[in-house]
Amino acid sequence: MKKKESNDFEETIVALATPQGIGAIGTIRISGNSAIDVANSVFKGKDLRKQESHTIHFGKIVDQDIIIDEVLVSVFIAPKSFTRENVIEISSHGSPYILQKIIQLLIKQGTRFAKPGEFTKRAFLNGQFDLAQAEAVADLINSDSNAAHMAAMNQMRGGFSKKIKALRDELIHFASMIELELDFAEEDVEFANRDQLVELILSIQKEISKLIESFRIGNVIKNGVPTVIAGKPNSGKSTLLNVLLEEEKAIVSDIPGTTRDLIEDEIHIEGISFRFIDTAGIREAKDKIEAIGIERTHSKMKTASVILYIIDLAEENTLDIREAEQKLKSLKIPWILIGNKTDKLSESALSKLKKEFPDMIFISAAGEVNIDILKKSLLNLIKADSFKTGDTIVTNIRHIESLTNTQTALDDVLKGIDRKVTGDFLAMDIRQSLYHLGEITGQITTDDLLENIFSKFCIGK
Amino acid sequence: MFTEYDVIVVGAGHAGCEAAHAAATMGSKVMLITMNMMTIAQMSCNPAMGGIAKGQIVREIDALGGMSGIVSDKSMIQFRMLNKSKGPAMWSPRTQNDRMQFAQYWREALEANPNVDMWQDMVTQLLVENNRIVGVKTGIGQEIRSKSVVLTNGTFLNGLIHIGEKRFGGGRTAEKAATGITEQLIELGFESGRMKTGTPPRLDGRTINYSILEEQKGDEIPGKFSYIPSHNIKEQKSCFITYTNKDVHEILETGFEKSPMFTGRIKGVGPRYCPSIEDKINRFSERDRHQIFVEPEGWNTVEVYVNGFSTSLPEDVQYKALKQIKGFENIKMFRPGYAIEYDYFPPTQLNLTLETKLFENLYFAGQINGTTGYEEAAGQGLIAGINASRKTNDLAPLVLKRSEAYIGVLIDDLINKGTDEPYRMFTSRAEYRILLRQDNADLRLSKIGYEIGLASKERLDLVYQKIKGIKTLTNDLKHKKIDPVNINSSLERIGSSPIKEKTSVFQLLKRPELNTEKILQLDSSLKGYLSKYDKEVIEQAEINTIYESYIEKEQKLVEKVEHLENYIIKENFDYRKIKALSSEAMEKLSITRPKTIGQATRISGVSPADISVIMVYLGR
C-alpha cells in the first residue's frame, strides 16, 4: 500500500478547464484555500478578496506591469463551489499561448498544476457527491452526446442510488424476518413466509435485470454504438457512410456556437452516437462479419454492436441475400440488412423483393433515398428510446459488477429455498446480495437488520 | 498484609470469576476482591446459561479453558439444544441451572486454584502512581498492590434500584452499591454513561397451578457445554409456558403513572430486545398476549423465575397483574421485579485486548463495558484475565478475530461500535455465522487455549483425536459408494427416490430426508460401520459434507475481508481533513483511531462510502 498521506489538500491547484486547442474562450480554474488571494495578486481590477460569491468581474491579468490578457473572473467562495473550496475561474481569450502564460504565472504565485481528475476528487472528498455521483461527474465530463449527458445527470442527481436503495430496503425487511426466526426462535415470533420471499426476490431480480440491461444502453450512450458497415465490394458501403456523416456534419454546423470538431467516423442520431469501427478497413474489407464475430466472443461486456450489411441489388440475387441473412443470424449481433441501389431496379422487381424480404431496408445511398428510415431502424435496433422515459441507466462498470454479484447471490437464495435449506444459509446469501447492493449505495448491513428487528417486532423475554 | 499481585480482579461475577481463574491457571498471582463472598458467581437474573448465540460463547469459553461450561454442566437441571430445526450454525445449547449449585461450583473451582487469593471488601479507589495503575484501595482502607487491575463491577457502580416510585442504592436487591470508582475514573479522564436493566419477580412455586400450563421438557438425551467428558444428568426439571392477557395488560397500565420508566425517573438506556413487560405493552399495544416462561431456580427450591415479565412497576401492581395470568390465580411472590440503573464506560475507550487506552494494565470486562448477559460477561472476563496475565509476562496479547469466535465479534463490536444500550450477542451480529458454530468451538479454539497455558493437554488431545476421526469419515463419505441393489428397497420404504447407479454417501446426504446414520442403516452391507466413530465426529463429518459449499463460500469471504486488515492507517491520521466523511464517521474515526481499513469498516456510523473516501484519500 502506498502510504501517502500527503497534505495535497492544503495546496491550491490550477488547471485549464476548457479543452486544449484553439477556441474563442479558454477558462482556467483555481481551487483551494488561497485561490482568491492568488488570483487577486495577478489581477488588475476590483479587489477580488472583497467580492461576494458567484460574482463576475472584468479586469486584466498582469505579470508585474505587463498585461497578459483582458479577462472575466468568476468568484466562488467555499463551500458554495464545485470543489467546496474557494474557486476562481478566469476566462481569457482562447489562445494556447495566453492560457499557458496565465497558468505559469499562477504557479509562480504558489499554486500547483492539478493532476488529472483532481478537481472532481476534491469535490468528492469534500462531500459534494457520493461515490456513484462522483463517477457520474467523470462520465459527464467525458460525455459528448446528448443522451450520455442525460444519463450522467440522472446518476449525479442520485436517481440510480435511490432506486437501488428502495430495492435494498425491501430486501432488508425480509432479511430481518429471517434473522428474527433465527435469533428469537424461542419466542412467540412470526416466520418469514418463503413464498413471499420468492416473489420478492423475483421482482427484485427483474428490476436488477433491467438495470443490467440498461448498462448495454448506458454503454451505447457513453461510448457510442460500435457499428460496422459490411457488404461485398462496391455494394455502396462508403457511399452510405459518407451520406450518414455528411448529414450529421450539416446538422452540427447548423447549431450556432458549436466548436467541437466532429470525429470523422462518428455520427449522432437523435442524441445517440454511432461509432464506425475501423472505417478505413470497412472500405476495403470483403467481409468484416467473421472478424467481428470472433472479437465479440472475446469481449466480456455485452456492448451493443450493430452490423449494417449492404446488398448490392444490382449485382446480387435472392440466393446471395439468403446466404447473407443466414450468416448474420448466426452471429447473434443486432443487424440490419440493407438493399442498396434501388434506383437500378425496376418497380416490379423491387416490390417483389420487398415481399420476399420484408425486414430488408431498401435505400439508394447515392440518391439519398430512405436514409431516414434506415436511421429510425438503427435507433430501434438498440432500443435507445428507453432512456428517454427518464429511466435509470447504469453506465458504470463498478456498478454493473455489484449488480451482477447481487443477481448471483439472489439466484443462490432461490436455489436454497428450492432445496429447502434452513434460514441461516438463506440469510448468508441474502446478506451477500445486500452487501453488493450496499457497495453501490454505501450502506451497512448488520446494524440495519437488528435495527429493523427491534423497531418492528416485539421480542425479548 | 498483602504481597504484590500480578493481577487484581475487582468483582466476582461471571466476568470476574473467569478473569481470576484464567490468570491464575496461567500462573499469575491473583487477588479476587468481592464485596460479598456469599454471592460469588451469582446468577442475578435468570437461572440459565447459554441459548442462541450465547451457548456458542459458553462453548468457546470452554474450548479456551474457561470454567463457565463446566460449572453450568455440573449445576444443570435441564438441557436443551435450541433451534434444532435450523441449520447447524443455529443449534444453540442452553441449560437451566440450580442457582445455588452454580455459585457453589464456581467457588470450588476458584478455591481449588492455589494462585487465587480472595478478599471481601469494597474497592473504592485505584492506586495511581506516575500515571500508572499500581493497585487498589478498599473501603476499610487496605492498599493492595498489583501489576494490573481488571475491573468487573457489573451493575454495582452507583447502582440505583427502582420499584415503582421507590428507589434506593444497591447493586442487586439487598446488596450495597459500589461508590467511588466512577468518580475517580472520570477524574482520570474516562467518559461514563448510565444504563438500565431489569429483572422479573420471583414467585412461590407452591402457589402455581402447573397442571394447566404448557410444559417444556428438557431434551430426551441431554447434552452439555464442556468438550471434556463428564457425567450427564439423569433427571431433568421442566420449564412451563403461560401467557399474559388483556386483563393483565389493563392492570399493568394502571401502574404506568408510577412507572419509573415512563415518568422519566430512569435516565439510563435499557435494552430493546429485553424489554420490560410495561415496555412491551406500551410499544406493541396491538399484541393482546405475551409469552411467559416459568423457570425453576433449582433442585431443592420452590422459587421460580418468571421470564418475560421484567418490570419496575409498583410491587402491588405486579402482584395484581400476575394473579390474572393463567396458572397464577393463587400466586404468592417471594420478591418483586425491579429495574436497576448503573454506570458503564463506553467500550470505545478500550483496546481489542480490553485494556483501557488511557491506562496500561487497567482492564474492563462485563457490564462495565455496557454489555448484558452472563455469557458475554464471562467471555470478556476470560480475555481480560488472559491478557492481564500475558502482559505481566511480557507476552503478546490474545485477540480473537471475528472469523474465529463470537467472543471476537463481541469485543470487536464493543470497541469499534460502542453501544448505546446493553449489548447482547445475536447470531446475526456475526458475519461468519456458518463458521462460528457451537459444534466446532473446540476445533477453532482449543489449540489457542492450550498454547497460552489455559486449556489442558487432555483437552487438546481430544481435539486432535476428533480431527483425525472427522478426516477419515469425511473422506469415506465422499468415496464410499452404495450399490443400488443394497439400498433401493429401503429408500422406497421411507419415500426417498431410488438410485440408478452406485452413489457415494456424500451424494445421498444432500437429500434432506436422509442423514448418515439413516443411510448406513438402510444399506445392509454397511451396518455397524459407524460404530467406531464418536457422535461428535459423525456430526462434524456430516456438517462438513452437507454444507460444504456454504462453508467454503464463507471462508472465501473471510479471506477477502481480512485483506482489508493489511491496509494500515497511520496513528495520527487527521480525519478532519477529509470533508467528504459524514460528520458522524469523522467523529467516530477520530475517537476510535482504527489501525487498519478493515477495522475502520466495522465502526458504527462509518459507511462503505466513507471507507471509499478514505481509500481514495490514501491513494488506493
Residue type, B324: Q
Domains of chain B (ranges; CATH) run 5-199+342-451 (3.50.50.60), 202-337 (2.40.30.260), 457-551 (1.10.10.1800), 567-617 (1.10.150.570)
If pLDDT is split at 50, 70 and 90, which confidence band does A260 have? very low
- Specify whether the CB–CB gap between B342 and B194 falls below 8 A: yes
- For B87, the closest of A130, A422, A443 (CB atoms) is A422
If pLDDT is split at 50, 70 and 90, which confidence band does A252 have? very low
Q: Give CA–CA dist B14/B478, Å, rounded.
A: 44
Q: Which residues pair with B292 in a beta bridge?
A: B242
More confident residue, B163 or A122: B163
In chain B, the largest separation of any two C-alpha atoms, in whole Å, equals 83
* Cβ neighbours of B282 in A, within 8 Å: none
Chain A contact present for B570, CB below 8 A: yes
SS3 assignment, position B193? strand
How many Cβ pairs closer than 8 A exist between chain A and B? Answer: 140
Chain A (137-156) residues lying within 8 Å, Cβ to Cβ, of chain B: none
**Residue in the structure block whose three cell numbers are 467516530:** B588
Predicted pLDDT of residue A135: 60
Tell me, what DSSP letter sits at residue A53? T
Tell me, what DSSP letter sits at residue A262? P
Kindly report, residue by residue over A203-236, the tens digit of the pLDDT. 889 888 877 777 666 666 666 777 877 777 778 8
Q: What are phi and psi of A440, to 5 degrees?
A: -85, -45
- Specify whether the CB–CB gap between B450 and B101 falls below 8 A: no
Query: CA-nearest residue of chain B to A437?
Result: B608
* Cβ neighbours of B280 in A, within 8 Å: 458, 460
Chain B (466-525) residues lying within 8 Å, Cβ to Cβ, of chain A: 512
Predicted pLDDT of residue A253: 35
Predicted pLDDT of residue A234: 79
Q: Give CA–CA dist A305/A227, Å, rounded.
A: 6
ipTM over 0.85: no
Torsion, Cα of B349, B355, B358, B360 (10° steps) = 180
B407–chain A nearest CA distance, Å:
17
Q: Which residues of chain B have pLDDT under 50?
A: 620
If pLDDT is split at 50, 70 and 90, which confidence band does A293 have? very low
Burial of A238 (0-12, 13-18, 19+ CB in 10 A): middle
- Specify whether the CB–CB gap between B437 and B547 falls below 8 A: no
- Specify whether the CB–CB gap between A30 and A38 falls below 8 A: yes
Predicted pLDDT of residue A377: 87
Give the DSSP letter string of B35-98. Answer: S-GGGTT---S-SEEE-TTHHHHHHHHHHHT-SHHHHHHHHEEEEEEETTTS-TTT-EEEEEE-
Chain B contact present for A423, CB below 8 A: yes
Q: How many residues does chain A have?
A: 461
Chain A contact present for B550, CB below 8 A: yes
CB atoms within 10 A of CB B267: 12
Domains of chain A (ranges; CATH) run 8-128 (3.30.1360.120), 229-380 (3.40.50.300)
Predicted pLDDT of residue B208: 97
Mutation test of the interface with chain B: which of A188, A424, A448, choosing the one with the most B Cβ atoms within 10 A?
Answer: A424
Predicted pLDDT of residue A109: 87
CB spacing of B617 vs A125 below 8 angstroms: yes
CB spacing of B608 vs A458 below 8 angstroms: no
Element counts in chain B: helices (H) and strands (E): 20, 22
Predicted pLDDT of residue A278: 44
Distance of CA A134 to the CA centre of its chain: 12
- Specify whether the CB–CB gap between A39 and A90 falls below 8 A: yes
Element counts in chain A: helices (H) and strands (E): 16, 13
Predicted pLDDT of residue A161: 66
If pLDDT is split at 50, 70 and 90, which confidence band does A271 have? low
Predicted pLDDT of residue A279: 41
Average of per-residue pLDDT values in chain A = 74
Residue type, A101: K
Q: Locate A415 and state its grid cell.
A: 436455489
Q: Give CA–CA dist B56/B378, Å, rounded.
A: 12
Q: Give CA–CA dist B536/A77, Å, rounded.
A: 70
Residue type, B281: I
CB spacing of B618 vs A431 below 8 angstroms: no
Q: What are phi and psi of A230, to 5 degrees?
A: -125, 170
CB spacing of A461 vs B570 below 8 angstroms: no
- For A188, the closest of B291, B307, B433 (CB atoms) is B291
Predicted pLDDT of residue A130: 62
Chain A contact present for B580, CB below 8 A: yes
SS3 assignment, position B222? coil
Q: Give CA–CA dist A315/A313, Å, rounded.
A: 6
Q: Give CA–CA dist A189/A205, Å, rounded.
A: 28
State the number of CA atoms in the 13 A half-sphere of A291 facing the CB.
Answer: 12
